Structure 1
Amino acid sequence: MGSNAFDCPLRNSEEELCRSGQELNKRFEQTGSVDISAMVDSDEQFEAGPLQETQKRETISGNKAGDLQGKQKQETNSGLQPSVQDIFESKKLNATSFPQQGLGRCTPVGSHRHPPIDDDDNATIYRSITEKKTPRHELKLDKLSEHEKKKLISGLVKIQNDGTVDVDLAKTAPNSVEGGTSFYLNDTSLESSNKLIPRLKIAILVAGTRGDVQPFLAIAKRLQEFGHHVRLATHANFKSFVRSAGVEFYPLGGDPRILAGYMIKNKGFIPSTPGDIALPLKQIKAVIESFLPACTEPDMETGVPFRAQAIIANPPAYGHVHVAEALGVPIHIFSTMPSTPTYELPNPYARVPQAGYWLSYIVVDLLIWWATKGYINDLRKRKLKLPPISYFSIYNGSIYHLPTVYMWSPHLVPKPRDWGPLVDVVGYCFLNLGSKYKPREEFNEWIQKGTKPIYIGFGSMLLEYPKETTDIIMEALKATGQRGIIVRGWGDLGHFTELPDTVFLLEDCPHDWLFPQCAAVVHHGGAGTTAAGLKAGCPTTIVPFFGDQFFWGDQIHKRGLGPAPTPIAKLSVESLSNAIRFMLQPEVKSQAMELAKLIEKEDGVGAAVDAFHRHLPRELPLPTAASLDEDKHPDHLQWFLIQLQKWFCLPCGV
Structure 2
Amino acid sequence: MKIAIIALGSRGDVQPYVALGKGLQAAGHHVLLLSHENFDALAAAHGLEFCAMYGNVQAIVEGEEMRRLLAKGNFLEITKYTARESKRAATMWAKTGLEVCQGMDLLVAGVGGLYLGQALSEKLRLPLLPAFVFPFTPTKAFPGALFPNVIARFGGMVNWLSHQLVRQILWQGSRGGDNAARQQILNIPTAPFLGPKLDSRYPTLYGISPAVLSKPQDWRNTEVTGYWYLDSPGDWTPSASLVEFLAAGAPPIYIGFGSMGNRDAAATAELVLSAIEQTGQRAVLSSGWGGLQPETVPDTVYLIDAIPHDWLFPRMAAVVHHGGAGTTAAGLRAGVPSIIIPFFGDQGFWGDRVAKLGVGTAPIPRKKLTAERLAQAILTVVSDAAMQQQAASLGAQIQAEDGIARVVTTIEEINPLKLVSIAHDAEFSGD
Q: What's the TM-score once normalised by structure 2's chain length?
A: 0.90
Quick check: 1:434–1:513 contact (8 Å CA) kept in 2? no
Equivalent position amino acid for 1:369 in 2: W
**Counterpart position of 1:512:** 310
The structure 2 residue matched to 1:271, chosen from 68, 77, 91, is 77
For 2:326 and 2:166, how far apart are their aligned partners in 1?
A: 23
Q: 1:258 to 1:499 in 2, by over 3 A?
A: closer
Once the two structures are superposed, residues 564-615 of structure 1 have per-residue CA deviations (whole angstroms, 9 ceiling, x without a partner) of: 1001111101110111012111111100000011011100110122223335
Quick check: 2:323–2:342 contact (8 Å CA) kept in 1? yes
Quick check: 2:88–2:177 contact (8 Å CA) kept in 1? no
Q: RMSD between aligned alpha carbons? A: 2.4
Quick check: 1:203–1:295 contact (8 Å CA) kept in 2? no
- 1:240 deviates by 0.6
**Counterpart position of 2:106:** 310
Equivalent position amino acid for 1:529 in 2: T
**Counterpart position of 1:284:** 86
Structure holding more helix per residue: 2
- 1:541 deviates by 0.4
- 1:363 deviates by 2.1
Once the two structures are superposed, residues 389-429 of structure 1 have per-residue CA deviations (whole angstroms, 9 ceiling, x without a partner) of: 3235xxx6233735211101100110111111x21000011
For 1:499 and 1:258, how far apart are their aligned partners in 2?
A: 27
Does residue 1:483 correspond to 2:289, yes or no? no
3-state SS, counterpart of residue 365 of structure 1? helix
For 1:204 and 1:469, how far apart are their aligned partners in 2?
A: 36
Does residue 1:378 correspond to 2:180, yes or no? yes
For 1:539 and 1:587, how far apart are their aligned partners in 2?
A: 10
- 1:373 deviates by 2.1
Once the two structures are superposed, residues 43-87 of structure 1 have per-residue CA deviations (whole angstroms, 9 ceiling, x without a partner) of: xxxxxxxxxxxxxxxxxxxxxxxxxxxxxxxxxxxxxxxxxxxxx
**Counterpart position of 1:406:** 206
Q: 1:609 to 1:268 in 2, by over 3 A?
A: farther
- 1:443 deviates by 1.4
3-state SS, counterpart of residue 459 of structure 1? coil
Does residue 1:532 correspond to 2:330, yes or no? yes
- 1:362 deviates by 1.7
The structure 2 residue matched to 1:334, chosen from 131, 137, 144, is 131
Does residue 1:348 correspond to 2:145, yes or no? yes
Once the two structures are superposed, residues 412-462 of structure 1 have per-residue CA deviations (whole angstroms, 9 ceiling, x without a partner) of: 110111111x21000011111064321111111111011100000011110
Does residue 1:245 correspond to 2:46, yes or no? yes
Does residue 1:234 correspond to 2:31, yes or no? no
For 2:426 and 2:59, how far apart are their aligned partners in 1?
A: 34
Q: 1:289 to 1:269 in 2, by over 3 A?
A: farther
**Counterpart position of 2:349:** 551
Q: 1:368 to 1:428 in 2, by over 3 A?
A: closer
The structure 1 residue matched to 2:363, chosen from 565, 568, 572, is 565
Does residue 1:586 correspond to 2:382, yes or no? no
Equivalent position amino acid for 2:31 in 1: V
User: Percent identity, aligned pairs only?
Assistant: 36
For 2:330 and 2:126, how far apart are their aligned partners in 1?
A: 34
Aligned length: 415
Equivalent position amino acid for 1:254 in 2: G
Does residue 1:440 correspond to 2:239, yes or no? yes
Equivalent position amino acid for 2:10 in 1: T
**For structure 2, which runs of at least 5 residues remain unmatched after alignment?**
none
3-state SS, counterpart of residue 85 of structure 2? helix
Equivalent position amino acid for 2:130 in 1: I
3-state SS, counterpart of residue 270 of structure 1? helix
Equivalent position amino acid for 1:340 in 2: T
For 1:614 and 1:379, how far apart are their aligned partners in 2?
A: 32
- 1:626 deviates by 12
3-state SS, counterpart of residue 485 of structure 1? strand
Quick check: 1:342–1:418 contact (8 Å CA) kept in 2? yes
3-state SS, counterpart of residue 76 of structure 2? coil
- 1:365 deviates by 2.1
Quick check: 2:282–2:300 contact (8 Å CA) kept in 1? yes
**Counterpart position of 2:298:** 500
Once the two structures are superposed, residues 231-276 of structure 1 have per-residue CA deviations (whole angstroms, 9 ceiling, x without a partner) of: 111111111111111100111123323654376256465227xxx8
Quick check: 1:223–1:230 contact (8 Å CA) kept in 2? yes
Equivalent position amino acid for 1:581 in 2: L
Q: 1:285 to 1:626 in 2, by over 3 A?
A: farther
**Counterpart position of 2:252:** 453
